[in-house]
Structure 1
Amino acid sequence: MKVYESKEDLKKEINKAYEKYILEFLDIPEKLKDKKNNDIDRTPAENLAYQIGWTTLLLKWEKDSKLGLEVKTPSDKFKWNQLGELYQWFTKEYSHLSLMELKTILNKNIENIYKMIDSMSEDELFKPHQRKWADAATKTVVWEVYKFIHINTVAPFGTFRTKIRKWKKLEIK
């Protein structure tokens, strides 16, 4: 996993990956947002719904922590061994929205993640044991908060960009 030198480096990497990812949706017609393809595991709407789901959870973990609430990862409704069900919930919760609505929500989440990063000290972001939710989410390894941010933004933006590009080659003629 990539290591970052500073908050600004992390934000720049998120921005770079997000801009490339979100641009892939510009030429997808609304009428194809739910078009399935056997070679691709998610439709464009499901692809965005997945990203919205994880970024929303990331923001919720931090918000609940600051409010002094017990944070349950990955969510109040699902455990780590129920990720398939969680992904189905993301699809049900968000994929019925238009592509424009989905992109707007995801954009707002990314803006809020930047604010979350800015609100943290370098230690809170890059040193271990700074958030109970981060420690509770990984029982066997120690993950700093930035790693959770990375795996819910930079990493999937790259992976899912590849998937949406492949989907477009197969579906948009």
Structure 2
Amino acid sequence: MQSYKDKTELIEEIRKRYSLYDQEFESIKEDEKELLKPGVDKTPSQNISYQIGWTSLLLQWETDEKEGIDVKTPTPDYKWNNLKGLYESFYDQFSSYSLHQQREILQNQVSEIIEWIEKLDDKTLFVPEQRKWATTPAKWPVWKWIHINTVAPFKNFRTQLRRWKKETDTE
């Protein structure tokens, strides 16, 4: 997994990967947002709904812990062994929005994540077990949770969107 020397490097990578990911939606028409293509496991709307869902959870975990709420990851309603159900809940929750609205929601959440990172001290960001919600047997520091819910899927899902668009071009 990629690592970062400091919070500035993490923020720059989030901005870069988010920007590239978001640009993929510019050529997708609104009436295509629910089209599923061969070789791609998500529609464009599902793709961005997944991103919105995970970034929402990341921000919610932090907010809840700061408010003294006992955080159940990934959610009180879904366990780690039922992620498919969680993903379906993301699709249901965000599919009624237009692609433009979904992009705005994700843009706002990415901005909020960056603001949050800027306020964190290096110990909280880079040393394991600084947040209860981030304390797992793997002992990941907060930056890894941020990475796997922003940078990593922005890269992977950008590839899926490009494959989806290629399938569209060949029809």
- TM-score range relative to shorter protein: over 0.9
Residues 38 and 167 of structure 2 are in contact (CA less than 8 Å); yes or no, is this contact kept in structure 1? no
Determine the C-alpha separation between the residues in 2 that align with 1:36 and 1:97: 17
Partner of residue 48, structure 1: 48
Displacement of 1:134:
0.3
Query: Which position in structure 1 is the counterpart of 2:127?
Result: 127
- Sequence identity (%): 46
Q: Scaled by the length of structure 1, what TM-score is found? A: 0.96
> Is the Cα contact below 8 Å between 1:48 and 1:95 reproduced in 2?
no
Q: How far did residue 38 of structure 1 move?
A: 2.7
Counterpart among 152, 157, 167 of residue 149 in structure 2: 152
State yes or no: 1:108 paired with 2:108: yes
Moved over 4 A (4+): none
Tell me the distance in 2 between the aligned counterparts of 1:95 and 1:38.
20
- Deviation at residue 172 of structure 1 after TM alignment: 4.1
Match 1:163 to one of 143, 160, 163? 160
Cα distance in 2 for residues equivalent to 1:64 and 1:86: 19
Is the contact made by 1:58 and 1:149 (CA closer than 8 Å) also made in structure 2?
A: yes
Tell me, yes or no, if the aligned pair for 2:24 and 2:158 is still in contact at 8 Å: yes
1:17-51 CA distances to partner (integer Å, 9 max, x unpaired)?
10110000001010101011131000000000000
Distance 1:63 1:80 in 2: 20
**Equivalent residue number for residue 141 of structure 1:** 138
Residue 29 in structure 1 maps to residue 29 in structure 2:
yes
Tell me the amino acid that sits aligned with residue 106 of structure 2.
L
RMSD of aligned C-alpha atoms?
Answer: 0.9
Q: Distance in 2 between matches of 1:6 and 1:36?
A: 39
In structure 2, C-alpha distance between the alignment counterparts of 1:95 and 1:156, rounded to whole Å = 19
Q: Kindly provide the CA deviation profile for residues 73-121 of structure 1, in whole angstroms up to 9, marking residues without a partner as x.
A: 0012111111010000000001221000000000000000001101210
- Check if 1:65 corresponds to 2:65: yes
Measured after TM superposition, the shift of residue 68 of structure 1 is 0.8
Contact 1:134/1:143, CA 8 A, preserved across alignment: yes
Q: 33-42 or 158-167, which moves further after superposition?
A: 33-42
Unmatched 5+ stretches in structure 2:
none
- What TM-score, normalized to structure 2? 0.97
What 5-or-longer segments of structure 1 have no aligned partner? none
> Take 2:94 and 2:15, find their aligned partners in 1: how far apart are those partners?
23
Match in the other structure for 1:4: 4
